Structure 1
Amino acid sequence: MFFGEDVPSAKVADVPQDAYLLDVREQDEWDAGHAPAAVHIPMGQLGDRAGEIPQDREVYVICRSGVRSAQVTVALNNAGWTARNVDGGMQEWAGAGRPMVAESGPGPYVA
């Protein structure tokens, strides 16, 4: 799925250390490896849990590769948040050597 240039985005290196990083992957992906300070709300739960996402600061949205997070970024921006898609997702995050932790298994790794 292609979203064009209409989706605000940020390179992994440009995500601030203190950013609100919203990880929208599924539970097994999260368990395998995620950014230490990320907040986990799977994409399918966003409708019920949107109130947990702050509207007074920029939200950086991440998934495995950037496709699901682009969809969420568009939805959040349309609903009044200020959100940016993290280019390349957790694959790029891991490739850039950014910190990761795992909840289970041999991780952390990107599932």
Structure 2
Amino acid sequence: MIDSRPHEDDPGVIRRRRECVSCGHRFVTQEGTINIAGMRAKRRRAQAVYLSRLDPEVKAARIAASNLRRDAKFEAAETGRPLADVLAAWGVAAPSRPALPNP
């Protein structure tokens, strides 16, 4: 790296001049910064608002389904059976996943 400075228009971007060590070609890169902690805090706040507005019956059903999947995964790991077989034995439909497109 030859030179580093903030971008003229955006203080969140750093402009760097670099030089290739093998051929000596010079080029410019622009590197942006992201506030990861701020993004995570914003996501947590949005999720809390969503959950606070969610119907209590729906919330309870989601928690029960999550606990059931957790228990089924635990039993599948203990017995060595596939998770789908454990869920079928319990009378619970295995979670469906979209099919991958064939190339």
**Length-normalised TM-score, structure 1:** 0.22
**Length-normalised TM-score, structure 2:** 0.23
Which of the pair has the greater relative contact order for Cα pairs under 8 Å at 6+ separation?
1
